Amino acid sequence: MNKKIGILGGGFGLYGYLPAFCNLGFDVFTLEKYSEFIKNRKDLEKLYDRINFLSSEKELFHNVEYLNIARDPINQYKFIVDTKDYNFKHLYLEKPLAHNLKSYRQCIEILEINKQSASIFYSLSYLDWYQEIIQALLNEKNQNIIVNWKVVNNNSNWKHDSFKGGGLFKYYGIHFIPMFLKSNLEIDNINQSKESLTIELKNKNENKFRLILSNGEINNFSIYKNEILLLDASNPFVRDIIPEDPDPRIQIIEKYIVDYSTDFLNIEEKIIEFMKNFE
């Protein structure tokens, strides 16, 4: 019998997670209100007949064993609080877990008390360049690595609103915290303004890492290692993300689904400690 997964979220949940779970053979359930979106989108229409559409979230919860939440941090936080009496085999969650540190801690406490299996999709950690940087920071000495990530600021989107769980650090920079933890990097300096954030770190191998996040007129992502350009693209995934084309992140999601970290609570507690520097 196939595993039954419920998907809550009308954006990335549908064009990212839904095809990934289908590709892995899950029985996929979602809400009826998303049916027209799936039927009318060219990269999803072929999956329409494989989806089980249900009328309410409550009905969804009673029909699935696994649940994927692909919603903004405020609504993800509300979900974890409101459904704490349910016990799914696994929750696939999005980053950040909640919109502020107080709510973040509350979510961790609920998941811990309920012994709820859960994970968060830090998508960049599944990319080759990300793992190569970690290995360089751990196994080499006197390395100087600079990551410069420019994003176009859309003020109408929660991803650019720090009070809603977005912003340069909470939405973009958070991807790098697992790297910092695995590479034993410690903060050396932070320079923050309304339009940019620079974090300088170093470890005992005398390696230096600088993360520069800023709002720009175009999206750009670059990596320098000892002043040599290693990557220059519009985004960290290298391939452009084109609406209604198969999302290049689907294969990465598939890796995450079958190989998520089982040390979720420990990692998230360390991430909370790190995030204190930016509150």
DSSP string, 104-115: HHHHHHHHHHTT
The pLDDT > 70 percentage for the chain reads 97
85-120 pLDDT tens trace:
888 999 999 999 999 999 999 999 999 999 999 999
153-188 pLDDT tens trace:
877 789 999 899 999 999 999 999 999 999 999 999
DSSP string, 222-277: EEEETTEEEEEESSTTSS---TTSPPTTHHHHHHHHHS--S-HHHHHHHHHHHHGG
pLDDT at 200: 98
Prediction pTM value:
0.92
Q: Identify which of 82, 18, 3 has the alpha carbon closest to the alpha carbon of residue 249.
A: 18
CA distance 110 to 180: 26
37-52 pLDDT tens trace:
999 999 999 999 999 9
- In this structure, are residues 15 and 40 in contact, taking their beta carbons and an 8 Å threshold? no
Q: Which residue has the tokens 């409550």?
A: 58
pLDDT at 210: 98
